Structure 1
Amino acid sequence: MTCGNARDLGLLALRGALGGTLAAHGVQKLFGWLGGGGLDGSAAAMDSMGFRPGHRNALAAGLGEAGGGTLLALGLATPAAGAAGLGTMVAAAAVHAPNGFFAAGGGMEYPILLGAASGALALTGPGRYSLDHLLGGGLARPGLGLAAVGTAAAASAVVLVRRRRALHAEAAAVEARAANLDVLP
Structure 2
Amino acid sequence: MTCYDRRDLGLLLLRLGTGGVLVAHGAQKLFGWFGGGGIEGTGLAMEAMGYTPGKASATAAGLAEAGGGTLLALGLATPAAGAAAAGAMVGASAVHAPSGFFAQSGGYEYAASLALTAAGLAVTGPGRISLDHALGHAVNRSWMVPAALAVTGAVTAVVVGARNRRVRQAAQDDQESLFEE
Question: Does TM, normalized by the shorter one, top 0.5?
Answer: yes
Q: 1:74 to 1:162 in 2, by over 3 A?
A: same
Specify every segment of 5 or more residues in structure 1 that has no aligned partner in the other structure, as ranges.
none
Aligned counterparts of 1:167 and 1:155: Cα–Cα separation in 2: 18
Q: Secondary structure at the match of 1:141?
A: coil
Letter in 1 for 2:117: A
Letter in 1 for 2:128: R
Aligned counterparts of 1:98 and 1:168: Cα–Cα separation in 2: 12
- Report if aligned partners of 1:39, 1:59 keep a CA contact under 8 Å in 2: yes
Letter in 2 for 1:51: Y
The residue number in structure 2 matching 1:137 is 137
2:129 aligned with 1:123: no
Moved more, 148-157 or 19-28: 148-157
2:27 aligned with 1:65: no
The residue number in structure 2 matching 1:149 is 149
Q: Following superposition of structure 1 onto structure 2, how do residues 36-115 of structure 1 map, counting pairs within 5 Å?
A: 36-115=36-115
Q: Secondary structure at the match of 1:139?
A: coil
Question: Aligned-pair distance for 1:155?
Answer: 1.1
- Report if aligned partners of 1:90, 1:115 keep a CA contact under 8 Å in 2: yes
CA shift digits 1:23-44 (9 cap, x unpaired):
0000000000011111111001
Q: Could you tell me the TM-score, scaled by structure 2's length?
A: 0.94
Of the two, which has the highest radius of gyration? 1
CA shift digits 1:68-114 (9 cap, x unpaired):
00010001111000001100010111111111111111111101110
Question: Aligned-pair distance for 1:6?
Answer: 1.1
Equivalenced residues, count: 180
Letter in 2 for 1:45: A
Letter in 2 for 1:152: T
Letter in 2 for 1:21: V
The residue number in structure 2 matching 1:13 is 13
Question: Aligned-pair distance for 1:167?
Answer: 1.4
Q: Could you tell me the TM-score, scaled by structure 1's length?
A: 0.92
Letter in 2 for 1:123: V
CA RMSD of aligned residues (A): 1.6
Q: Secondary structure at the match of 2:5?
A: helix
Q: Secondary structure at the match of 1:140?
A: coil
Question: Aligned-pair distance for 1:4?
Answer: 5.9
Moved more, 101-110 or 78-87: 101-110
- Report if aligned partners of 1:52, 1:166 keep a CA contact under 8 Å in 2: no
Aligned counterparts of 1:81 and 1:40: Cα–Cα separation in 2: 25
